[in-house]
Amino acid sequence: MDGTTWGIFAIIIIYLLGMVAVGLYYMKKNSSTGDYYLGGRKLGPIVTAMSAEASDMSSWLLMGLPGVAYLTGVADAAWTAIGLAIGTYLNWLIVAKRLRRYTVVAGNSITIPEFFSNRYHDKSRILVAVSAIFIVIFFIPYTASGFAACGKLFSTLFGVSYVPAMIVSAIVIVAYTALGGFSAASTTDLIQSIVMSFALICVVLFGVKTAGGTDVILSQAGELPGYLSMTQTYMNGEATEYGAIKIASMLAWGLGYFGMPHILLRFMAIEDEKKIKISRRIATVWVVISMSVAIFIGIVGNNLSRNGALQVLEGSDSEKLIITLGTLMSKSGFLGILVAGLIMSGILACTMSTADSQLLAASSSISEDLLKKVFHLEIKEKTSLLAARATVLVISILGVFMAMDPESSVFGIVSFAWAGFGAVFGPVMLLALFWKRSNRNGAIVSMISGGVMIFVWKYLVRPMGGAWDIYELLPAFLVAIVLNVVVSLLTAPPQQEILDEFEKAARG
């Protein structure tokens, strides 16, 4: 490695050590599993907002989204971003306060599976088991996508082998997550959201300056057929139609928010529900701005490649766009090296901020929900904390094995896991919070049908193409919510005690 690369490497190492230090700081503050998994419900409005969105955005914000815009133009990326922006706002508006309140009413639940079980008074623990299993099924590949992003970063930047780079990144993420738990993850998420924002701003300013200004970029992009259109997409030098079905499919990304365990946990952990409005405004503004900038970076990168200032990136290599821009920036002296180092740290930040939250959610599902609730193991508090940390380690190892393929697409893996959570938990969460007639049977059928439909639609129906080429989240979500309602109405209504708890949560 030359001096420039060593400089970037040093900045990244300092950043990573800082994240581990946060984990060590919070390690002593975790005296119970409630502290470890939910931070004692003491998150302030700013930390709640930024940790929720940083854990949401993941590596696809700085890698997947710019890569899609770089290859195919505005339509795919923009409609996805619009769906996510709407979903973010609605999730904060209608779910956050009710969930925070209801989880306290329903036995002071500290995990999503536990909330569902307590909400429906499910003594059989079937809801806990089904919820925990689906969380593990979809979080392992989600976590693997984060490890893959880190591996791509280091292998591209430092010329090292992908697999060792990916494993080292996973070790760091596991270290501060396993040590500090939810509080460490939330605090580092706040820091990482700031670093991510800095990275986006620096990259877009550098790119615009290098390309000769915004007018030049937009003018040349407009010459590409369908590249800047919202109803066409740019493929292989030609414009292809982007119809209503495709638009609805991309907007459906917003439905995923109602079922994301690592985001919903932030709502459960906020200290004062009266400050949720502040969090909602901060979160929505940040999401809209950050995704808009990420899409524009893709447009800028495409311009620089066509003009010879940047190498042409094809296929999954387009996800390395910001890494390539950061490397180009590092050649402009000491300040460029410093900024490039922070940009690379920003890529790590968006990856780590999601991976840590996913690990915690999956860990809680196994140690708290499966071991304690389903298998009825009597575990002391200290032993439970050790089990939680051991679970984080095991899930990480599985994620590492799934991330071994360097050709895996970060955007593709995230889109599948996102659809899975949205279809499995979204309908159940909405009906559990807002429809008192819903019951345990409806919730169980809803989860199973949503999860199964994700696989059926993605691997059997969607490959048929044409009108069937719809993002699997939309049909799976609709099937799950319809079956939830139908089964609930066809089976016995909830007990009066359950209805009383529902009314108490509704009143506040």
Contact 210, 377 (CB under 8 A): no
Span 173-220, pLDDT tens digits: 776 565 555 556 666 667 767 777 777 888 888 889 888 899 999 999
Mean pLDDT, rounded, of the chain: 81
Q: What percent of the chain has pLDDT over 70?
A: 78
d(CA 441, CA 438): 8
In 3-state terms, what secondary structure has residue 253? Answer: helix
Does residue 285 or residue 385 have the better pLDDT?
Answer: 285
**Count of other CB atoms within 10 angstroms of residue 29:** 14
Query: Vertex 254, ends 34 and 71: CA angle to 5°?
Result: 115
pLDDT at 101: 92
pLDDT at 296: 94
d(CA 260, CA 422): 6
User: Can you spell out the DSSP letters for 53-120?
Assistant: HHHHHTTIIIIIHHHHHHHH-HHHHHHHHHHHHHHHHHIIIIIHHHHHHHHHHTTT--SHHHHHHHHT
Contact 245, 463 (CB under 8 A): no
Span 21-61, pLDDT tens digits: 766 666 665 555 554 555 455 666 777 676 667 666 666 77
Type and span of the H or E element at 327: helix 321-329
| Residue spans per domain, the chain | 3-404
The helix/strand count (H/E) of the chain reads as: 20, 2
Residue 157 has pLDDT above 60, yes or no: yes
Span 325-372, pLDDT tens digits: 888 888 777 777 877 787 777 676 666 656 666 666 666 666 666 666
Residue 457 has pLDDT above 60, yes or no: yes
Q: What percent of the chain has pLDDT over 90?
A: 29
Span 400-440, pLDDT tens digits: 887 777 766 666 777 888 899 999 999 999 999 999 999 99
Quote the radius of gyration of the chain (alpha carbons, Å).
22
pLDDT at 353: 57
pLDDT at 139: 76
d(CA 67, CA 412): 12
pLDDT at 111: 80
Closest residue by Cα to residue 152 from 379, 316, 315 = 316
d(CA 399, CA 376): 27
Span 62-106, pLDDT tens digits: 777 898 899 989 999 999 999 999 999 999 999 999 999 999 899
d(CA 507, CA 120): 18
Residue 131 has pLDDT above 80, yes or no: yes
d(CA 120, CA 271): 25
Does residue 224 or residue 174 have the better pLDDT?
Answer: 224
pLDDT at 275: 81
- Cα dihedral across residues 36, 41, 44, 49: positive or negative: positive
pLDDT at 258: 93
Type and span of the H or E element at 184: helix 162-211
pLDDT at 508: 65
pLDDT at 446: 97
pLDDT at 382: 64
In 3-state terms, what secondary structure has residue 43? Answer: strand
Q: Looking at domain 3-404, which CATH architecture does it have? A: Up-down Bundle (1.20)
pLDDT at 163: 83
Closest residue by Cα to residue 481 from 254, 255, 245 = 255
